[in-house]
Structure 1
Amino acid sequence: MPNLGPAELIVILLVALVVFGPRKLPELGKSLGHGLREFRRSTQGLKDDLAMGAPATAPIPTAAPAAVPVAAREMAVAEEPRG
């Protein structure tokens, strides 16, 4: 992937200005900044959790056994010896 130099950045900014217009461009920059800030916070939180030894995510639950129909359960209870 080629490096982006100043000439390429200027071309990208001019294309963005033409596509979005001068009124919408500051709003896009602001929302992009908020998104990057939130991404940094979440990744920093993951790094902190890993550094402290806490699991980064909740444990994955094991698969639950298949549901047994009510009639089959009643038959099993009826066949059990009492006493």
Structure 2
Amino acid sequence: MGPLGFNEILIILLIVLLLFGGKKIPELMRGLGRGMREFNDAKNNVRREIEEGMTEKERTANTTASTPSSTTQP
């Protein structure tokens, strides 16, 4: 199956209009917008946590690499 063309999108919109009516569509779109916003917020939070974890791991790796070893030579 390929991407949706103009005719398919038009048919889908007509079916949605018939099923939900003109008054319910704005509520439906608001709910869809809220859902997308929450999804994007959650996605950004996960991305930020991963990046913070990576930078923290790099910082600990740099501090352990820059400290001299505790072995002494007699």
- 1:31 corresponds in structure 2 to 31
What is the aligned-residue RMSD (CA, Å)?
1.2
Aligned residues: 54
Residue 9 of structure 1 and its aligned partner are, at CA, apart by 1.1
**Mapping 1:3-82, distance limit 5 Å:** 3-53=3-53
What SS class does the counterpart of residue 38 from structure 2 fall into? helix
Partners of 2:29 and 2:10 in 1: CA distance: 15
**2:2 paired residue number:** 2
Which segments of 5 or more consecutive residues in structure 1 lack a partner in the other structure? Answer: 55-83
Letter in 1 for 2:5: G
3-state SS in 1 of match to 2:23:
coil
How many percent identity over aligned positions?
A: 39
Whose RCO is larger (CA < 8 A, sep 6+)?
2
Report the Cα distance in structure 2 between the residues aligned to 1:31 and 1:50, rounded to whole angstroms. Answer: 29
Unaligned 5+ runs, structure 2 = 55-74
TM-score w.r.t. the length of structure 2 is 0.68
